[in-house]
Structure 1
């Protein structure tokens, strides 16, 4: 991706809080003495004895069945080369993070201080009792081939070198779909391969397994074409040598149907692409820049189908489409290996998935209305929630069918439901919002630009292409902070409302404010005084079209920021009450809380309006709102003002919105415990899925609830999102982190896109 990542940001990300990116978390109770006696001595003896009787019981009583070792010696790290085992650890931790977030697989990363193949193999072999699988990573060729081959033979758990097979599996799926589109058969096409390292060799071998003809493949290493006339070929390269000898890559490209690049940037020209056969397929996957830039290939040939390793162009060949789900399927049937059939099953599952209708959540993530199978979509997107339930079962079935599974799955529907429950229903909402914002960045005014957190957020949204920041505040102080913190913001627009140079703007804005508020008791002098305050000035910038959204409140009280927005911008037509909504990103998916910031003690009608505003906002994220009006009572079980208010509001909502999923009044835990609902209140609209949106009886309850959850459960939040204004103005909570500010900016940008 062509994003600017600042060194300081990358280092701070890895060092902040608990250093590194992963940790070990207990999965059983441990608070009482009995808990500890069960977890350790004397209770731990019982599972030990069971495993001693039958080692397969380790999968029943320990974490082995969901634990993968990510192992490297740091000899071929990303694009960094041989940087050593310690320096490779951040990458291995990152791999562990991807395993967890995409497939709920736990990881221990292991960095070995050896380049000796025998020592490497022996070390991994004696670790076998600990793990359910081994992911080899960033080991240089040719040693990586021997290490993987020996470990596959000597271990009784699945082993895969992702650098080899991950790219092979994903690119093979892309190739199969591209061939369908251009109506060519794999056995007939001529393939040119640039690169003879681990990935290139594995890709080519997999293409042969899929039916490619050996004599139709021309592979190039750094010394040129690999042919039978060369005397410097090792055993690995000899298997790809051909009788035909090409003088150059350019020569081989003439009339070729497919180019596979896993070598170096910019070695393929437009003319070379033009020389290829009709409907050429170009898989240019050099990292970080491909063998030919995507725009150049598209310009050279209108009929080209192009894939790269980059996410900023169509058809990204991304290993995360493969390894989490391949290991998930292998672990779930306790496979003894990852064999060729399992890899081919993953290839076909990925290829088939791309040909199916795309879920709305994926369209929303990429700002599209209808992503469809074709030249610009030949492999699934990494955010596709169906990957886990598509690829893992395909791999598991192949393991069972080829006899390498020690556990047989018979109820595949139940297995898919189990997979779905592993990752909840979050579906990476924050990523969806950020991606949508980047499609059409807007001008966002930051009221509190003398705050370092705000400046860091402004830097990030600018670097990420989310928004164009405009900074309000004392220019000298802001520039000092920028310089002191080594931020790249000196060319960003900075406005000090109190500076003499802005006197004409002050006059114009104050005149407009007076015109809006003259029949509300405001005098011209009061209007001018008010405009000097950034909350009024920033709101007027948005109202006047000088900016698209306004972010404030980090160092100010909430009412002081909302009041100017109401005075200047005003409420949407037919809206009587604005409200504040928080999004909490939880393991069970996003939860929407409202009203969390504005209305102290809303009436029944206020509750109804807040619920309807919130539901419409949830729908904008392509999520069906499932509302629970929560209080201390369940369907009349207790009397009181709040219980009666929520009960009456729920009845009105059901009458006004017959299709709305809404229940109340009810206690908060019941909104999520569907078993209790089925047992005691089977009539409830929430029986089949629980709630994702909570409406509270008053500000005290809602504010306490989201703050407790946020801190006690360490949840990421987005908000507060101000609902009901004509234009996007959002108020940050005191102490908001850079990440929270960035999320709020993305929300404001998406809202501005919709309002335009």
Structure 2
């Protein structure tokens, strides 16, 4: 075994992950019999009996309300694909680290050895009493839509599939600021979305909610439009709510004269398609690690370029959203995460940039500690305003 692990000795990533990245620590020391009796039996029996009689007391006398479950089946891990639950666990541990570091929330990674939606939903429902929120992660489309919808209906705690909504929140924040810095509003923009998976669908929905001017979505077969056959229920919804002028053809065809390219699908986009976009266009090329549009090439034509990479300006990083979203929802005692709460989160992220707004700075740094605080406050206020909080 030693020989098999020595080959990783020079890679610092393996050193960080060795033995896992998480631990559980007690809040109080146990140094006496009295401490033991209060922490465990017999003292704990009094607390458990009180909760059994009044279940709402669990919100005060257990850690559950402030702990998030990070749940995955490992079928759509960013940049890696369907790698299974064991290989996905380091990613979920990393997500838990970010919850603690940026949101001040404890979280527990939970990977499931099933890809059946019924079994995933049943498993999460079964463990839900131990948690105050459910962060679904790296679950492939279209199953992720069904799983999230069913869990949101079944549970009275915040549930969010971050690959959908975390991405959408940050994209909206970035696009608001990109529009501003180029002298436009969201309502002025014609957007072409490349990708009808989890992120593409969620980004499209939040942009529609925010009042985007016009938006069309393309999958691997071209633009979604009325008359296309063999569409899933989700893609049919997109047909009914996007592409109002009935454009057909390829994604590259649709980019002619477009204001915004939003890439969420991988692959590559030819230079001539970007060159054909409107003057002062905006290119969000978010495939990771290799953007669909080469950033240097895009900069020849676009006023603003964003990617998913940390080594380039304008990184669209979900860490700007999810810690604050869950923190705000939990602080408010929210029973769900609503569209209004997501819109509030996006506005808060965009606002943190403030006077620093430039074409190379349309979103805050992922390390900016002001972001989670601003997002949490905005989300909590939105939850209270919408009345989705416990009395």
Given the two structures, how large is their TM-score scaled by the length of structure 1? Answer: 0.49
Q: Which residue of 1 aligns with 2:237?
A: 239
Q: Which residue of 2 aligns with 1:228?
A: 226
Change (3 A) 1:6 1:192: farther
Deviation at 1:7, TM superposition (A): 7.6
Q: Which residue of 2 aligns with 1:264?
A: 266
Separation in structure 2 between the aligned mates of residue 64 and residue 35 of structure 1, nearest angstrom: 22
Separation in structure 2 between the aligned mates of residue 169 and residue 398 of structure 1, nearest angstrom: 15
On the 8 A contact 1:349/1:390 being kept in 2, the answer is yes
Q: Which residue of 1 aligns with 2:217?
A: 219
Q: Which residue of 1 aligns with 2:4?
A: none
On the 8 A contact 1:226/1:237 being kept in 2, the answer is yes
Change (3 A) 1:6 1:229: farther
Separation in structure 2 between the aligned mates of residue 292 and residue 324 of structure 1, nearest angstrom: 29
Residues 154-187 of structure 1: CA deviation (Å, up to 9, x unaligned): 1000000000001100010000111112222323
Q: Which residue of 10, 23, 40 maps to 2:13?
A: 10
Bigger CA drift: 181-190 or 151-160? 181-190
SS of 1:276 mapped into structure 2:
coil
Separation in structure 1 between the aligned mates of residue 203 and residue 247 of structure 2, nearest angstrom: 21
On the 8 A contact 1:217/1:240 being kept in 2, the answer is no
Q: Which residue of 1 aligns with 2:279?
A: 278
Q: How does 1:183-582 map to 2 (within 5 A)?
A: 183-213=183-213, 216-241=214-239, 242=243, 244-265=246-267, 267-298=268-299, 300-301=300-301, 304-356=303-355, 372-406=356-390
Deviation at 1:307, TM superposition (A): 0.8
SS of 1:239 mapped into structure 2:
helix
Deviation at 1:25, TM superposition (A): 0.7
Bigger relative CO (Cα 8 Å, ≥ 6 apart): 2
Matched residue count: 380
Separation in structure 1 between the aligned mates of residue 339 and residue 372 of structure 2, nearest angstrom: 20
SS of 1:259 mapped into structure 2:
strand
Separation in structure 1 between the aligned mates of residue 249 and residue 83 of structure 2, nearest angstrom: 35
Q: Which residue of 2 aligns with 1:35?
A: 35
On the 8 A contact 2:102/2:369 being kept in 1, the answer is no
Q: How does 1:595-634 map to 2 (within 5 A)?
A: none
Separation in structure 1 between the aligned mates of residue 303 and residue 277 of structure 2, nearest angstrom: 9
Q: Which residue of 1 aligns with 2:144?
A: 144
Q: Which residue of 2 aligns with 1:168?
A: 168
SS of 1:45 mapped into structure 2:
helix
Separation in structure 2 between the aligned mates of residue 329 and residue 379 of structure 1, nearest angstrom: 20
Deviation at 1:83, TM superposition (A): 1.4
Residues 48-104 of structure 1: CA deviation (Å, up to 9, x unaligned): 122122212111111112101001111111221111111111111111111111112
Change (3 A) 1:311 1:275: same
Separation in structure 1 between the aligned mates of residue 13 and residue 324 of structure 2, nearest angstrom: 28
SS of 1:240 mapped into structure 2:
helix
On the 8 A contact 2:158/2:334 being kept in 1, the answer is yes
Separation in structure 2 between the aligned mates of residue 11 and residue 351 of structure 1, nearest angstrom: 35
Indicate yes or no: 2:21 matched with 1:21.
Answer: yes
Q: Which residue of 2 aligns with 1:414?
A: none
On the 8 A contact 2:176/2:185 being kept in 1, the answer is no
Separation in structure 2 between the aligned mates of residue 62 and residue 310 of structure 1, nearest angstrom: 39
Q: Which residue of 2 aligns with 1:512?
A: none
Deviation at 1:6, TM superposition (A): 8.8
SS of 1:387 mapped into structure 2:
helix
Residues 328-374 of structure 1: CA deviation (Å, up to 9, x unaligned): 11111221011111111100101111124xxxxxxxxxxxxxxx211
Separation in structure 1 between the aligned mates of residue 104 and residue 26 of structure 2, nearest angstrom: 15
On the 8 A contact 1:76/1:138 being kept in 2, the answer is yes
SS of 2:188 mapped into structure 1:
coil
Structure 2 unaligned spans of 5+: 1-7
Separation in structure 2 between the aligned mates of residue 287 and residue 382 of structure 1, nearest angstrom: 16
Separation in structure 2 between the aligned mates of residue 134 and residue 393 of structure 1, nearest angstrom: 20
Indicate yes or no: 2:153 matched with 1:157.
Answer: no
Separation in structure 2 between the aligned mates of residue 313 and residue 44 of structure 1, nearest angstrom: 52
Residues 249-270 of structure 1: CA deviation (Å, up to 9, x unaligned): 22111100111000114x2233
- Structure ID, larger Rg: 1
SS of 1:219 mapped into structure 2:
strand
Deviation at 1:247, TM superposition (A): 2.2
SS of 2:186 mapped into structure 1:
coil
Q: Which residue of 1 aligns with 2:78?
A: 78
On the 8 A contact 1:121/1:147 being kept in 2, the answer is yes
Structure 1 unaligned spans of 5+: 357-371, 408-756
Aligned-residue Cα RMSD (Å) equals: 1.6
On the 8 A contact 1:132/1:334 being kept in 2, the answer is no
Moved over 6 A (4+): none
Q: Which residue of 2 aligns with 1:630?
A: none
Residues 498-543 of structure 1: CA deviation (Å, up to 9, x unaligned): xxxxxxxxxxxxxxxxxxxxxxxxxxxxxxxxxxxxxxxxxxxxxx
SS of 2:88 mapped into structure 1:
helix
Separation in structure 2 between the aligned mates of residue 64 and residue 190 of structure 1, nearest angstrom: 44
SS of 2:108 mapped into structure 1:
strand
Q: How does 1:682-693 map to 2 (within 5 A)?
A: none
SS of 1:376 mapped into structure 2:
coil
Separation in structure 2 between the aligned mates of residue 278 and residue 398 of structure 1, nearest angstrom: 37
